[in-house]
Chain A
């Protein structure tokens, strides 16, 4: 059994989101990858082979657990059972990082299992703060909160997304998981300058970055990108990532690919590109 001392820190290098089609290959071949991130809920089981696989990966690599179902932004949802399952998993594998989303997924007892958009209001901020505090308190560690891709804005929002997430980090001590693809997607969907988002974030609060591919919807009256995680990272997003790293600094960066998953070597190629950006920044920063 692992002890707390076995926690392996996530290095400030490029890692890969590890999904079911590649897990056995990784365990068998132990490819040179700096770290892996896995979806927490896929390992919410009392036992079985998925947990064995997770522990086999954990024996050789630093791992980060990324949740998609805690629904921290729900006003009326009992997330304690989910949180208890997360705690069991975190205690079991002692990940280097634990992250969740700035979103909601449940209305009362009905779960929509999506990363759904919040209104950026004081009321929603208070709900997120309460739930992030409770999560960090139960897990007895800092968590990172990721900015999500959104396809609509609410009329009654009173602050921009970047102010909301900055306030959340300041008032809970949580870290920010800056998803550069999601910032790009939202900047197109909601027509803002993505650097306005990035420069509003305190670099010291950023614990990790994400990169992924989107899908462009055509034939609509307004531009719309969907955060589909089924493409290589787009050139526009690589460009924004370079600007982000120049501003925020060298941070652990993850390649995510969740649908139409390509051979593992393709993911390694994407990670190598991210690593070049980090290397270049290291050279500049001396």
Chain B
């Protein structure tokens, strides 16, 4: 028998046993009536269940699309390929979209990775910081003042706002998964459906928008002024006078100030 492992060696061997079935740890485990491998199997089972349930919680639409058996298989492989790097389970699953995109058995569902990106964006939105939105009156007043001074204008959006672009009608697919009785089957050939995702009180809200809107909002989130962002998103039929009141009404505008040019 080898010498007793150091604590660090023991913990590395334990992880290698759970994730990859490595037997190194077994020499250090007292069987006491069971095989050491059986005792490790108890822990492997508990840990796999914990992570599978965490993925089920974050990815309900992916699970509905692929079925429970396929999802369980994907969850086990994902754990081996992308083991958790945080003691907070809410952080687990950030790479599931990339994992699914590379999973050969999932290649027939081309939109699956994008649905996973949508669901992770919902999770991020759920945990994002709070921020007090500006009222419509405050927005009008500030815009008036800033426009008089002809300053470049910075518009800050709610921290929970996420933007998802895809070649597929993600919103229709997601709704069909989650609310099948109230939603027609999605027309997969209808093309992309850019989406805004944000937190509205206790709920996660989603809204399909035009591609030009996502370009403008991305530019704003990147810190560009409204004037520059409008140039970026240049689109013949783009109308800020419609988008801004919509953002304000949905409590997504948290600050409007003079734009400070980046250093």
Contacts and interface: CB of A to CB of B under 8 A. Distances in A.
23 contacts: A44-B90, A46-B127, A46-B159, A49-B126, A69-B88, A75-B11, A79-B87, A108-B11, A108-B12, A110-B15, A110-B84, A112-B18, A112-B84, A113-B50, A113-B89, A116-B14, A119-B7, A123-B6, A152-B40, A152-B43, A155-B29, A155-B30, A222-B34
B43 A106 contact: no
A70 interface: yes
A263 interface: no
A52 B129 CA distance: 12
B97 to A, nearest CB: 20
B127 A41 contact: no
Contact of A113 (B4, B84, B159): B84
- Across chains A and B, which 8 residue pairs bring their CB atoms closest together, nearest first? A222-B33, A69-B87, A47-B130, A156-B4, A46-B129, A152-B39, A107-B15, A45-B127
Interface in B1-35: 4-8, 10-12, 14-15, 18-19, 27-30, 32-34
A226 interface: yes
Contact of A112 (B30, B34, B42, B47): B47
A110 B81 CA distance: 11
A111 B14 CA distance: 11
Contact of A105 (B29, B87, B202): B87
B85 A113 contact: no
B128 interface: yes
Given A110-B19, A112-B14, A220-B34, 11 more contacts: A42-B90, A46-B128, A68-B87, A74-B11, A75-B7, A107-B8, A107-B14, A109-B85, A112-B47, A152-B43, A153-B29
Given A48-B128, A121-B7, A82 B50 contact: no
Contact of A82 (B11, B83, B86): B86
B245 to A, nearest CB: 25
Given A112-B47, A116-B43, A76 B34 contact: no
A224 B42 contact: yes
Nearest to A217: B42
Q: Report which residue of B34, B38, B87, B90 has the largest number of chain A beta carbons within 10 angstroms of its beta carbon.
A: B87
B212 interface: no
Given A152-B39, A220-B38, A69 B89 contact: yes
Given A153-B32, A220-B38, A47 B129 contact: yes
Given A123-B6, A123-B7, A191-B32, A47 B159 contact: yes
Contacts of A107: 8, 11-12, 14-15
A155 B4 contact: yes
Contacts of B38: 220
Interface residues of A, number: 52
B127 to A, nearest CB: 4
Interface of B: 4-8, 10-12, 14-15, 18-19, 27-30, 32-34, 36, 38-40, 42-43, 46-47, 50-51, 83-90, 92, 126-131, 159-160, 199, 201-202
Interface of A: 41-42, 44-49, 51-52, 68-71, 74-76, 79, 81-82, 85, 104-114, 116, 118-119, 121, 123-124, 127, 151-156, 190-191, 220-222, 224, 226
B128 to A, nearest CB: 6
Given A76-B11, A104-B11, A152-B36, A44 B88 contact: yes
B30 A153 contact: yes
A109 B85 CA distance: 6
A32 to B, nearest CB: 26
A151 B18 contact: no
A51 B128 CA distance: 11
A111 B87 contact: yes
B32 A222 contact: yes
A111 B88 CA distance: 9
Contacts of A226: 42, 46
Contacts of B43: 114, 116, 151-152
B127 A48 contact: yes
A225 to B, nearest CB: 11
A70 B7 contact: no
A52 B202 CA distance: 9
Contacts of A111: 83-87
Contacts of B33: 221-222
A127 B12 CA distance: 16
B57 to A, nearest CB: 10
B173 to A, nearest CB: 25
Contacts of A154: 10, 28-30
B51 A113 contact: yes
A70 B130 contact: no
B40 to A, nearest CB: 7
Contacts of B40: 152
B87 A70 contact: yes
Contacts of B32: 153, 190-191, 222
